[in-house]
């Protein structure tokens, strides 16, 4: 159901920020794109242009990388102690917390997600991430290593390792969790002492730009964080190919991830970490507590309108309970009110863009053409905004695009199973391996299946549980490396082995 009543306006401070001229943050200054070009930013709930931002391209990326290089090599930043870096990150977290409501409104207007969800999840998770990484700044340690050196009998040595920042980092983020993705990227990079050029998504640049102002307020020296808005094919590609960038960290589609790897390989073999797509299996076993599993299955796919790389988009249910579960999830879908993110009753906002709406609907059409049926939903929801109805597909076949490819929308394919061994094979039948879940009352079975599922995250009797301390990343074509947790520190440091002969 599409809400038709008017949504309340955002706070005047939020609107004043959105209204201002948005430039690029390079070397501590806000500057227009060299080309003078801009990008219109739309509110996906009504398609109206709410702001224009600079369209940075290669020339701006070159300037930003040069600034990040200067900040990495000399001046204030490398001279700071780990404790001082940690305190700056903590200060940044405090500043975001002071502006929590403003960020929630910006995310809602720019991305389309419900304001209340952004205020309860996106922004607090970003704050927590910066605090968690602030703690890591003082805990990045090497080891001492006893060595033997067989070809130098009798010689004595002292060997140890240093964990050093990897250098100038290019970070490219998507539009589904704009502030949170910026936090996942910036937190560990700054905790370890790297400098950054952050390319934020062209669809949702506003919270990243607001964050840029707070980064300055938190006292980070000029050039440590540079923020460039611009298109992927120009600014993003220039960053991935830049010969003076030491590492690129990317979150987005597997298709673009492959282009990033190619660009890194063809230029300076910069380090690459990738958090890519998914087609996550969500498995409900016959002994599951259906009262929680059904709600969990709905949340797994409909949270953030299915625009989550870990969305539970393939729902496997035992044949004996298939109809009951599908009906239960359909009932939940029916209750979801579609509307602008700013409307207090909105359960699900629009897709982020017309392109995304068309993409999701294209998948639905291809599924129907191949024989799939919609139990509920299955089309655009009307109105000016880019809404798609929450959809449950049945009668799918394993080789259909709707089963194999990431739709990135509120579309779940429900698949019945009978034999548990076939279930595991079907769940793992994907080029992706980002997340998975299993619902069961049998603890041993839950853990056994968790081991059998080829995914970087497995939830048992829950879904979409995130914490700054938990590593997140993909098996197979879902990515390289893990973000968050202590593994994120490894992504932004490199090891130096030092040996002294007595």
DSSP secondary structure letter of residue 120: I
H or E element, residue 208: helix 206-217
| Residue with tokens 């979409």, as numbered in its chain | 464
Do the Cβ atoms of 288 and 294 come closer than 8 Å?
Answer: no
Alpha-carbon span 216 to 88, nearest angstrom: 10
Instruction: Check residue 253 for interaction with ligand ADP (CB under 6 A).
Output: yes
Alpha-carbon span 334 to 26, nearest angstrom: 47
Among 188, 232, 390, 474, binds ligand ADP (CB under 6 A): 232
Nearer to ligand ADP, 277 or 378 (CB): 277
Verify whether residue 101 is a known catalytic residue. Answer: no
Both tokens of 100, joined, read: 């929590």
Contacts of 201 by beta carbon, 8 Å cutoff, 6+ apart: 173, 174, 175, 178
Binding range to ligand ADP, per CB under 6 A, among 95-103, 199-207, 321-329, 441-449: 199-207
Q: How far is the CB of 110 from ligand ADP (least distance, A)?
A: 14
Instruction: Check residue 233 for interaction with ligand ADP (CB under 6 A).
Output: yes
Instruction: Check residue 252 for interaction with ligand ADP (CB under 6 A).
Output: yes
Among 128, 202, 275, 389, binds ligand ADP (CB under 6 A): 202
Among 109, 190, 245, 256, binds ligand ADP (CB under 6 A): 256
Instruction: Check residue 360 for interaction with ligand ADP (CB under 6 A).
Output: no
Q: How far is the CB of 60 from ligand ADP (least distance, A)?
A: 14
Alpha-carbon span 407 to 390, nearest angstrom: 13
HSE (CB half, 13 Å, CA atoms) of 499?
Answer: 10
Rg (alpha carbons) of the chain, rounded to whole number: 24
Residues 427-446 that bind ligand ADP (CB under 6 A): none
Q: Which of 105, 275, 389, 483 is catalytic?
A: 275
Verify whether residue 345 is a known catalytic residue. Answer: no
Q: How far is the CB of 175 from ligand ADP (least distance, A)?
A: 6
Alpha-carbon span 86 to 225, nearest angstrom: 15
Q: How far is the CB of 126 from ligand ADP (least distance, A)?
A: 17
Alpha-carbon span 496 to 140, nearest angstrom: 13
Nearer to ligand ADP, 68 or 235 (CB): 235
Binding range to ligand ADP, per CB under 6 A, among 99-107, 231-239, 292-300, 390-398: 231-239
Nearer to ligand ADP, 193 or 349 (CB): 349
The SS3 of residue 104 is helix
H or E element, residue 31: strand 29-31
Binding mask 138-177 for ligand ADP (x = CB under 6 A): ----------------------------------xxx---
Nearer to ligand ADP, 201 or 290 (CB): 201
Q: Which of 105, 107, 203, 309 is catalytic?
A: 309
Distances (CA, A) of 483 to 274, 285, 470, 471: 9, 30, 8, 6
DSSP secondary structure letter of residue 481: S
Q: How far is the CB of 309 from ligand ADP (least distance, A)?
A: 9
Give buried/exposed letters for 260-295 (b at 16+ CB in 10 A, else e). bbebbeeeeebbbbbbbbbbbbbbbbeebebeebbe
Instruction: Check residue 354 for interaction with ligand ADP (CB under 6 A).
Output: no
- List residues near ligand ADP by CB under 6 A: 172-174, 199, 201-202, 231-233, 236-237, 240, 252-253, 256, 259-260
Q: Which residues are designated catalytic? A: 275, 309
């Amino acid at each position: 159901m599409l809400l038709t009543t008017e949504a309340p306006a955002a706070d005047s401070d939020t609107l004043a920020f959105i209204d201002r001229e948005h430039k690029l943050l390079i070397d501590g200054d806000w500057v227009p794109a060299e080309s003078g070009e801009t990008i219109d930013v739309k509110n996906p709930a009504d398609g109206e242009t709410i702001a224009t931002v600079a369209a940075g391209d290669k020339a701006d990326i070159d300037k930003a990388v040069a600034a990040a290089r200067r900040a990495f090599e000399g001046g204030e930043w490398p001279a700071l102690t780990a404790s001082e870096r940690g305190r700056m990150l903590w200060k940044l977290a405090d500043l975001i917390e002071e502006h929590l409501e403003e960020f929630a409104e910006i995310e809602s207007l720019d991305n389309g997600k419900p304001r209340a969800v952004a205020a309860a999840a996106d922004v607090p998770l970003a704050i927590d991430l910066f605090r968690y990484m602030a703690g890591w700044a003082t805990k990045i340690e090497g080891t001492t290593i006893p060595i033997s050196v067989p070809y130098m009998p009798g010689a004595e040595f002292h060997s140890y390792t240093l964990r050093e920042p990897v250098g100038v980092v290019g970070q490219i983020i998507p539009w589904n969790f704009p502030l949170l993705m910026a936090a996942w990227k910036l937190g560990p990079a700054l905790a370890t002492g790297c400098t950054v050029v952050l390319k934020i998504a062209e669809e949702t640049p506003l919270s990243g730009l607001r964050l840029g102002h707070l980064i300055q307020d938190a006292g980070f020296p000029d050039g440590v964080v540079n923020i460039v808005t611009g298109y992927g094919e120009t600014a993003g590609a220039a960053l991935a190919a830049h010969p003076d960038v030491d590492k690129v960290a990317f979150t987005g589609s597997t298709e673009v991830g492959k282009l990033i790897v190619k660009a890194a390989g063809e230029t300076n073999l910069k380090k690459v970490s990738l958090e890519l797509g998914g087609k996550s299996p969500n498995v409900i076993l016959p002994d599951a507590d259906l009262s929680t599993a059904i709600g969990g299955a709905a949340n797994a796919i409909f949270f953030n309108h299915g625009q989550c790389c870990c969305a539970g988009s393939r729902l496997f249910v035992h044949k004996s309970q298939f109809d009951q579960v599908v009906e239960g999830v359909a009932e939940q879908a029916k209750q979801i009110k579609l509307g602008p993110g700013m409307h207090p009753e909105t359960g699900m906002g629009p897709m982020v863009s017309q392109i995304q709406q068309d993409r999701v609907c294209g998948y639905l059409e291809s599924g129907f053409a191949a024989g799939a049926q919609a139990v509920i939903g299955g089309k655009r929801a009307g109105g000016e905004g880019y809404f798609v109805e929450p959809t449950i597909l049945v009668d799918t076949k394993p080789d259909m695009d709707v089963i194999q490819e990431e739709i990135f929308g509120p579309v779940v394919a429900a698949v019945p199973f009978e034999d548990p061994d076939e279930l595991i094979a079907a769940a793992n039948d994907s080029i992706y391996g980002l997340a998975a879940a299993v619902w069961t009352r049998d603890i041993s079975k839950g853990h056994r299946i968790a081991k059998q599922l080829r995914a970087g995250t497995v939830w048992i009797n829950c879904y979409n549980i995130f914490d700054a301390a938990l590593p997140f990343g993909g098996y197979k074509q879902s990515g390289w490396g893990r973000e968050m947790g202590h593994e994120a520190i490894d992504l932004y440091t490199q090891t130096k082995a030092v040996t002294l002969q007595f």
